[in-house]
């Protein structure tokens, strides 16, 4: 499971930093796009994100720096001849904006776009065999959600030589992976742990979007392996952060400690900061394993 940062600036463009967009790459060749600021499709090309692997897009809220790139991306996927359905989970009004955009161009998408309006509260949005995505409300100037992407365990890992030595038939292997014991025709019990070992553990990534500092969603991100939390400001602008429903690097680190995560990713930097070193030092004083993300960074979970 990897996270690729395509953009991490806040609304006002600066220093060639792009607005928010991230790609979560999962086992099984599935990519998930989280937010889609202006220029996301160009950033995808720059950082070799494959269009065809993206079947799910999640938009946290309808401030432009988190969604103005969706129109171009949807159009481009159509120009490229996509036919696979695309699931877009976003605040309800985005559906109308997209339909209007297509209508004024006398255009239709050549693939099914399946729009899912985000609910007000927390919810399970996607539950596939290999991964799931949930949303939870954060606190911003307008309705805004964070997302938790969970890469599921694939069950136990089969030890083929062991299974074969007990003469377990291959048709039973999938049931071994899901944890079952095997009973031979003569009634002998072959314990599951003799022929399998633990599979790769479940992995969790929590993306907290744009939010004021609050512990109101702590329950949803607790236990995540990696948390992305916005840090628009440093603590010297903590009042401005509060007024604008944003957070500081220090606040993000404080929440990371409370959530018991292994790693914190920072982003959504205000254009007032050209150099980002201050974000690292402010956060690291509270939570050591912090990364000040840059465009093109790839983090493995």
> Catalytic positions, please?
65
Helices 249-259 and 277-284 pack at an angle, to 10 degrees, of 40
Compute the distance between CA of residue 153 and CA of residue 138 in angstroms, rounded to an integer. Answer: 27
Residue 101 or 130: the one with the smaller Cβ distance to a copy of itself is 101
Residue 59 or 224: the one with the smaller Cβ distance to a copy of itself is 59
In the complex, minimum distance from the CB of residue 44 to a copy of itself, in angstroms, rounded to a whole number: 9
146 within 8 A of 217, measured Cβ to Cβ: yes
Quick one: tokens of 173?
């292997």
In the complex, minimum distance from the CB of residue 125 to a copy of itself, in angstroms, rounded to a whole number: 20
Contact set with a copy of itself (CB under 8 A): 11-14, 16, 18, 38-39, 41-42, 45-46, 62-65, 68-69, 71-72, 75-76, 79-80, 91, 93-94, 96-97, 100-101, 103-106, 141-142
In the complex, minimum distance from the CB of residue 96 to a copy of itself, in angstroms, rounded to a whole number: 7
Residue 46 or 157: the one with the smaller Cβ distance to a copy of itself is 46
Secondary structure letter of residue 66 according to DSSP: G
The pairing of beta strand 123-127 with beta strand 113-117: unpaired
With residues binned 3-state (H G I as helix, E B as strand, rest as coil), the percentages for the chain, rounded to 5, are 30, 30, 45
88 within 8 A of 115, measured Cβ to Cβ: yes
In the complex, minimum distance from the CB of residue 12 to a copy of itself, in angstroms, rounded to a whole number: 5
Quick one: tokens of 162?
């062991």
Residue 107 or 281: the one with the smaller Cβ distance to a copy of itself is 107
């Amino acid at each position: 499971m990897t996270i690729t940062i395509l953009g991490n600036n806040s609304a006002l463009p600066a220093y060639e930093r792009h607005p928010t967009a991230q790609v979560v790459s999962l086992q099984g060749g599935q990519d998930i796009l989280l937010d889609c600021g202006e220029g996301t499709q160009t950033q995808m090309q720059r950082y070799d994100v494959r269009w065809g692997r993206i079947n799910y897009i999640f938009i946290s809220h309808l401030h432009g720096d988190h969604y103005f790139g969706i129109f171009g991306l949807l159009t481009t996927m159509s120009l490229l001849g996509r036919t696979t359905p695309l699931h877009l989970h976003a605040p309800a009004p985005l559906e109308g904006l997209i339909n209007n955009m297509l209508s004024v161009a006398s255009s239709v998408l050549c693939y099914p776009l399946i729009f899912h309006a985000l609910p007000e509260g927390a919810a399970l949005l996607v539950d596939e065999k290999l991964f799931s995505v949930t949303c939870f409300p954060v606190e911003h100037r307008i309705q805004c959600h964070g997302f938790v992407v969970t890469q599921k365990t694939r069950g136990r890992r089969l030890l083929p030589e062991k299974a074969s030595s007990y003469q377990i038939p291959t048709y039973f292997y999938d049931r071994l992976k899901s944890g079952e014991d095997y009973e031979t025709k003569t009634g002998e019990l072959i314990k599951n742990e003799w022929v399998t070992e633990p599979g790769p553990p479940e992995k969790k990534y929590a993306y907290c979007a744009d939010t004021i500092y609050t512990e109101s969603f702590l329950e949803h991100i607790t236990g995540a392996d990696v948390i992305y939390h916005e840090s628009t400001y440093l603590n010297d602008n903590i009042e401005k952060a509060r007024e604008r429903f944003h957070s500081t690097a220090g606040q993000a680190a404080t929440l990371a400690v409370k959530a018991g995560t292994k790693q914190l990713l920072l982003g959504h930097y205000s254009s007032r900061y050209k150099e980002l070193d201050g974000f690292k030092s402010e956060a690291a004083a509270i939570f050591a394993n912090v990364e000040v993300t840059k465009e093109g960074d790839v983090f493995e979970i």
